[in-house]
Amino acid sequence: MNHHPPDQARSPQPPHVAFVGRANIDITVRIPQRPVPGRTTFASSPATTTPGGKSLNQALAARQAGARTSLISNVGDDEWGIFLNRALTDAAVDVSHFRLVPSAPTGIAIIEVTPDGENYIVLARPPKTELTGEHVRSALRQLRAPTVVTQLDLQPEAVDAVFQHHDAGTLIGNLVPHPTLGATALAPLDLFVSNEAEAAAILGRHHADPSIAAQELRKLGPRAVVLTVGARGAVYSDADHTALVPAQHVNAINTSGAGDAFLGTLAARLAHKVPLTHAVAEGVTAATTFVRVGGRQ
């Protein structure tokens, strides 16, 4: 006989969001100023080694924001890859399509953080761990997640696999599209999310008013656009409105990963059917908290 309370038995599953993209190790050093040629700069504190990569960061943020999350990604079958797999598992992110590739190294990002919280990143990205179209197709077919977030700078076959498979639900794209895809990669999206530098790279010019940049990006085909504008917050533009959602002023400790905290939270809230303007506001709050405390807690 089932003795579970009725409300517990009927408790609905949280919405499912799948992330398609990269994972790597972040090695972060805090420095008093950027090095100059021929001179050594000593770090202000010991280096830290943490899980990283845009899609991994976003999956963790979405999980923290109440979504059920899966990460479709490749890493090396090495010490770092095993470390990342364990971190995702510990955070209750589904790793059924997170592959450890034999004889491949795991990607590493070297992140320098200056006292103003700005970050300077160098990413070593192993070609052997790039996603293939077949991996992406197979994963999405099995996961059947109604919300999918993809990096657009992946190999074209991987991005095309996302577009071909995902014909229902919500499709969110991030980053400057792979050069062979170009701006046409924005057209199939329900939502495109970028920062100002990425928007300028796509549009070919920087707009002083981010609202204009967001509207210009919408002309490339996505149903809606969100443009993150650092300490000012984020601008969203859809068929009905274009508006700035301001951020609370805080003293930033580290801005590295703030955009991923924003996007992961935004995706989770949209998966919960929260209206875009409210989802953007929750994303801004998550990113603001992230930079204030210096990362995930």
Q: With a cut of 60, say whether residue 1 has pLDDT above it.
A: no
Alpha carbon distance 188, 166 (integer Å): 10
**Which pLDDT belongs to residue 167?**
67
Q: With a cut of 70, say whether residue 254 has pLDDT above it.
A: no
Q: What is the pLDDT of residues 99-148, one digit of tens each?
A: 999 999 999 999 998 888 788 899 999 999 999 999 999 999 999 999 99
Q: With a cut of 70, say whether residue 297 has pLDDT above it.
A: no
Alpha carbon distance 76, 82 (integer Å): 8
**Which pLDDT belongs to residue 116?**
83
Per-residue pLDDT, averaged over 154-176, amounts to 92
Q: With a cut of 70, say whether residue 13 has pLDDT above it.
A: yes
- Helix (H) or strand (E) holding 286, with range, is helix 276-293
Tell me the pTM. 0.91
Higher per-residue pLDDT: 198 or 231: 198
**Which pLDDT belongs to residue 110?**
94
Name the least confident of 97-101, 156-160, 168-172: 168-172
Per-residue pLDDT, averaged over 216-240, amounts to 96
Alpha carbon distance 47, 247 (integer Å): 29
Domains in the chain: ranges and CATH: 14-21+54-103+130-293 (3.40.1190.20)
Q: With a cut of 90, say whether residue 57 has pLDDT above it.
A: yes
Q: What single-letter DSSP state applies at residue 141?
A: H
Strand segments, DSSP code E, in the chain are 16-20, 24-30, 48-52, 68-76, 98-101, 108-113, 119-124, 147-151, 170-174, 191-195, 224-228, 233-237, 242-246
Percent of the chain at pLDDT exceeding 90? 82
The 10 Å Cβ neighbour count of residue 187 is 12
**Which pLDDT belongs to residue 296?**
63
Tokens representing 254 are 């580290």
Q: With a cut of 80, say whether residue 7 has pLDDT above it.
A: no
Total residue count of the chain as it appears in this document = 297
Q: What is the pLDDT of residues 89-111, one digit of tens each?
A: 999 999 999 999 999 999 999 99
Alpha carbon distance 123, 111 (integer Å): 9
In the 3-class helix/strand/coil scheme, how is 242-257 assigned residue by residue?
EEEEECCCCCCCCCCC
**Which pLDDT belongs to residue 2?**
52
